[in-house]
Amino acid sequence: MTGPQNGRTSELMLPAEEPVDSRISAKMLRESTLTLWESERERGERMEILLVEDNPGDVRLVDEALRDCVGQYSLSVAQDGVDAMALFDSRYGMDGVRPDLILLDLKLPRKDGRQVLSEIKSDRHLGEIPIVILSSSRDDGDVAAAYELGANCYVVKPADLDRFITVLRSIVYFWWLVATLPRR
C-alpha cells in the first residue's frame, strides 16, 4: 500500500485482546529474534531508532524491550516534536547518521506528532524513513490522519506490559530484519 508521501506504507493489524499469534509464545518470538539479531551483529550493523515520546514510563519500556531483543542499536529520545525536529538539525544533519526507524507518539507537547510526521514525510531527504505511530489513541480520525500524512504503520499502545513489549519487538523485528529499506 503506498501513501501520498515518499516511502512505504504498511499496516500492522493486531487483535485487541488476543496474543499476536496464539501459536507463537513470547519465548519463541524472543529466541527466534535473538538468533536473527546475532546474524545482524556479525555484519556489524547497528539499528538507529528515534523514539518521540513524552511519557518516561513508555520510554523505559521501549528501551527495555530493545535491550532484550536488538543486537546493536542506538536509541535517541525526543520528549516532544520540537526536540525531535531539532535532532534532525543537530545529530542527524545531512551528513550524520539517520534513524532507521522512528517510533512517534501523536499526543506531544509543543509540536504534536502529526506536525512532526508531516514535516519528516515532506522532506525529500527524510521522507523514506519508516515512521510507526505508537499512540494510545484509537480514534478513527487520528488513524486516518496519520496514514494521510504518510505514516507507515499505526499501532495502539497495549495497556498490558508483556503485550507492549511483544508488540514493540515485532515492530522492530519487521523494520530491521524483514523489510528492505534504502541504504543510509
For the stretch 98-146, pLDDT in tens is 889 999 999 999 999 999 999 999 988 888 999 999 999 999 999 999 9
- Residue pair 151/48 in contact (Cβ under 8 Å)? The answer is no
pLDDT-derived band at 95, boundaries 50, 70, 90 = low
Report pLDDT for 98. Answer: 82
What cell does 40 get? 545482524
For the stretch 160-170, pLDDT in tens is 888 888 898 88
pLDDT at position 3 over 50: no
- Considering only 49-53, 62-66, 104-108, which range has the smallest mean pLDDT? 62-66
- Nearest-angstrom CA–CA distance, 10 and 1: 6
Nearest to 155 by CA among 143, 165, 144, 163: 143
Q: Which of the two residues, 9 and 180, has the higher pLDDT score?
A: 180
Report pLDDT for 61. Answer: 87
Q: What's the whole-number average pLDDT of the chain?
A: 78
pLDDT-derived band at 9, boundaries 50, 70, 90 = very low
CATH architecture of 47-175: 3-Layer(aba) Sandwich (3.40)
Report pLDDT for 105. Answer: 97
Buried b (16+ CB within 10 A) or exposed e, 108-147: beebebbbbbebbbeeeebebbbbbbbbebeeeebbebbb
Task: Give domain limits for the chain.
Answer: 47-175
Report pLDDT for 15. Answer: 46
**How far does CA 27 lie from the centroid of its chain?**
22
| Angle 178-183-52 from CA coordinates, rounded to 5° | 75
Is 171 exposed, middle or buried (CB count within 10 Å of its CB: 0-12, 13-18, 19+)?
A: buried
Q: Which of the two residues, 175 and 144, has the higher pLDDT score?
A: 144
What is the average pLDDT across 75-99? 80
pLDDT at position 177 over 90: no
CA atoms within 13 A on the CB side of 124: 0
Q: Which of the two residues, 88 and 43, has the higher pLDDT score?
A: 88
Buried b (16+ CB within 10 A) or exposed e, 37-71: beebeeeeeebbbbbbbbeeebeebbeebbeebbb
What is the average pLDDT across 52-65? 91
- Nearest-angstrom CA–CA distance, 10 and 6: 13
Distances 143 to 69, 88, 100, 106, 133 between C-alpha atoms, Å: 28, 25, 22, 10, 9
What is the average pLDDT across 57-80? 83
The three-state secondary structure class of 177 is helix
